[in-house]
Structure 1
């Protein structure tokens, strides 16, 4: 009879305790070694104790290495018994390793290393301000883009209106400016659409929604804004502010309406969509409870969508 397996559990430690496990160079070397062994392909590999220690290339005795490995078990690393070779491998005991078994990253460990890789760059992750082939919708000045301190920003140097200001990993930086802008547009869209659908793009938790008046957003030129929809995750703390147009980019009727008139809003950079980049097409219909309407003009026709304070579309008119 095959013994019943207990399910893997994640998030057993409070965040501060999980972070405390990383304060040692042997432990970080173990995590990095297990990650590097993957080679970018396939599931996380299982490394026997001796191979893991050899690949980590640390000048420490076996008992000390094993102690720090045990500290990582159950949070960032799991032990795979010799009889378990599939993806359902479980962490078994906290005893020293035995011949035939091995170790691999748990999802938390994989995510940790991926996060470090995502926000790390060997060179200077920086772009001096450069001009875009697009004019500001408010003052007709050419827009500028720059990347500094992990923030990619697109703004107008004339009226100071901010079109995009987003925490963005250095991986968006391409070989030229056009490639970089394409990468930024795709990355930002994925983040905003996740928030628009009510899901945190980092942890998958549901996010809340709050209508914030333009003057209270903290953005430059609040006088040019009608409202922003502030979405936040109470689990991981991730937050973002979206225009009503960005929120409604998920709406199938809006996508179809624009597509029928030759505008693909699923690939066009958000800063090139007037109804999403500005509030010029947004009106506040009511407060307490909140209700707002977006008017999307395309090829001579106008689609209006009204949302309530839960961001549900309560009315569509063409």
Structure 2
């Protein structure tokens, strides 16, 4: 069934569990143990007897009751046994990520990279399942993004920061493609003048999910990390942009190299300087690249011009 706008929602699904009921189904130690046993099994489907053996429950009738509560919504029964539905996998992954049951206390991580504003060493801190990078001297934010507690397990500080760098890239890549990294709903992108001073920028990119309202904010340049011409430009200068920390790239965390050419429609130029050369990338309001141009930095005019 569809709504009047032609879009579906969980309220329209006659066969779906209501959210409150879905959480009540898995809010049981035995049922979570069943999902964990199914996850740990080297091969699936898993037979009833093997699954009960792994959960270590002697009472067959009681085990069957809990298993049936999971069936159809979180697991599926086949002729060969039981296997996951996608919802069941997501529950286990959420548990493994530590989102439900971990509240780690992490000491601040001192970074070797420096602040794009004042040049002081940066620091990363972790709180409320968010990892953020900030300058302890001037307070300039360099991004704060969701990072599940499970991402901290069995990693050194350097490995945590490498994982965080890749995660931020992934989050913004999905968002720019219109896919919410939280719920897979439709993600909209808008360019805005940052009157709220959320990131210390004059111009900000906002990604907002129409379904769950999840939001991501960034400088315009962050959308260019996987753009082919930008990657090639860095490679030609001996830099692997795929592993370079985004917070070590001024054009990703500030708008020092961002020029608004027009606002109606939006037309923005990001200038990326390396050695004696610049790459000038022009984007529209959807962050689509309109053009790229390499210029001699020693003869190029000042790229930062105010918008009239």
TM-score bracket, shorter-length normalisation: 0.7 to 0.9
Q: Which residue of 2 aligns with 1:241?
A: 217
* Alignment pair present for 1:18 and 2:26: no
In structure 2, C-alpha distance between the alignment counterparts of 1:23 and 1:172, rounded to whole Å: 24
* Corresponding residue of 1:136: 115
Partners of 1:20 and 1:195 in 2: how far apart?
A: 31
Residues 132-171 of structure 1 mapped to structure 2, 5 A cutoff: 132-171=111-150
Q: 1:50 to 1:237 in 2, by over 3 A?
A: farther
Q: Is the 8 A contact 2:102 2:149 kept in 1?
A: no
Change (3 A) 1:190 1:285: same
Aligned length: 280
In the alignment, is the contact (CA less than 8 A) between 2:180 and 2:214 conserved in 1? yes
- 1:143 and 1:52, CA in 2 relative to 1: closer, same or farther beyond 3 A? same
8 A Cα contact 1:291 1:309, kept in partner: yes
| Partner residue of 2:73 out of 44, 52, 75 | 75
Task: Tell me if the contact between 1:196 and 1:250 (Cα under 8 Å) persists in the aligned partners.
Answer: no
Give, in whole Å, the separation in 1 of the partners of 2:132 and 2:22: 33
2:267 touches 2:285 (CA, 8 Å); kept in 1? Answer: yes
* Range that drifts further, 265-274 or 117-126: 117-126
Aligned to 2:44: 45
Judge conservation of contact 1:226–1:282 (CA < 8 Å) in 2. no
* Correspondent of 2:158 among 178, 182, 192: 178
1:197·1:250 contact (CA, 8 Å) conserved in 2? no
Judged with a 3 Å threshold, the aligned counterparts in structure 2 of structure 1 residues 120 and 58 are, in CA distance, closer, same or farther, namely farther
- Judge conservation of contact 2:74–2:86 (CA < 8 Å) in 1: yes
Query: Could you say which residue in structure 2 is the equivalent of 1:36?
Result: 40
Distance 1:121 1:21, change over 3 A: closer
After TM superposition, the score normalised by the length of structure 1 is 0.78
TM-score w.r.t. the length of structure 2 is 0.80
Query: 1:269 aligns to what?
Result: 245
Aligned partner of 2:231 among 255, 262, 267:
255
| Cα gap change, 1:176 to 1:33, in 2 (>3 Å) | closer
Q: What pairs up with 1:280-299 in 2 under 5 angstroms?
A: 280-299=256-275
User: What's the counterpart of residue 55 of structure 1?
Assistant: 54
Return the offset for 1:183.
Answer: 2.4
1:124-160 Cα offsets, whole Å, 9 max, x none, are 7332224322221212222111223322111011221
1:159–1:249 Cα change, 3 Å: same
The root-mean-square deviation of aligned C-alpha atoms, in Å, is 2.6
Q: 1:254 to 1:31 in 2, by over 3 A?
A: same
Which residue of 164, 171, 190 maps to 1:191? Answer: 171
1:165 Cα offset (Å): 0.8
Structure 1 gaps, min length 5:
1-8, 39-43, 83-101
CA distance in structure 1 between the aligned counterparts of 2:164 and 2:100, rounded to whole angstroms: 16
Q: Structure 1 residues 250, 176: closer, same or farther in 2, change over 3 A? A: closer
